[in-house]
Amino acid sequence: TAEMLLDGIVNTNPINVSQDFVTFMRARVGLMTGDWPAVIDNTNDIIDSYQLANPAQYLSMFTTDSDVTEVIFKYENQLGANRNYANIWIFTGTGGNFISLANGLFDELAARGDVRFQVNVNPESDPGDFGINKYPGIGGQFLGDFKAMRASEAYLMRAEAHIRGNGDLAAAAADVKAVRDARAGTDTGVLEFSSVNDGIRGVRDERRLELAFEGHRFIDLKRYRNILNQGLERDPRDCDGNIPCEISVNDRRWTLPIPIAETNGNPNIQQNPGW
């Protein structure tokens, strides 16, 4: 219905909902429900219409909001109207990190050495306490548009669909390589997947770098855990205090409890296992 209502409307600004928004959302729904043909069909449309940002464009997209080359939809953050994203990452005025990069993520970004390291890691960070630089603030304010839908995610969704839908490891590798090449600004060399599990690990790891701090990681680990028989496994350096280093594949925390207000209101509701 939304697509029909949007028919004929030309949208040149990604802060507005468009037919491409609907197409992208269909791909995401397909990803979550295992409708692999729908993922491929819808991401094909997105990929045919949007280029991947080169390193300079990618940097401008996140540091100044001035580039929208690969942005299908972004949430416009305005002073006094919407949330200041930087408040999620730092204690304003104290210079301290509220949330830091995991050491494991830092190592992966550093090893890859592409523009995503510069975008994600605050250059003024202390060793071992790496600040997040993805939403650095615009014009002196802790504001930055949240890029909710980007072409790179479409490539990685299609890669997963190629693997899980028809076992096309070569097509999946080509999609992952396209994202890597765009971020590096050069040919990153041959990429091959030797098995379904190897391909899923490749997609999972690329999503970690490409979609860092965009709200996908927990759901990704939850989706992949039964395929790879692997839950959450942190680098030991990221497990200080009461932070667990591992969450097993069958841990109850992969599914949150139904709020007591809901179960009190309807005694027929079955609480999720383990809660």
Euclidean distance between CA atoms 264 and 186, whole angstroms: 58
CA distance 247 to 231: 6
Say which residue, 207 or 241, is predicted with more confidence: 207
pLDDT more than 90, % of the chain: 72
**Angstrom distance (rounded) from CA 144 to CA 85:** 7
Question: In this model, does residue 77 exceed pLDDT 80?
Answer: no
Tokens of 64: 């100044």
Give the contacts of 199 (CB within 8 A, at least 6 positions apart).
159, 163, 169, 172, 173, 193
Rounded to two decimals, the pTM is 0.91
Mean of per-residue pLDDT scores for the chain: 90
Q: What is the pLDDT of residues 18-67, one digit of tens each?
A: 999 999 999 999 999 999 999 999 999 999 999 999 999 999 999 888 89
pLDDT digits (tens, 9 = 90+) for 120-138: 998 887 777 888 888 776 6
Confidence of residue 93 (pLDDT cuts 50, 70, 90): low
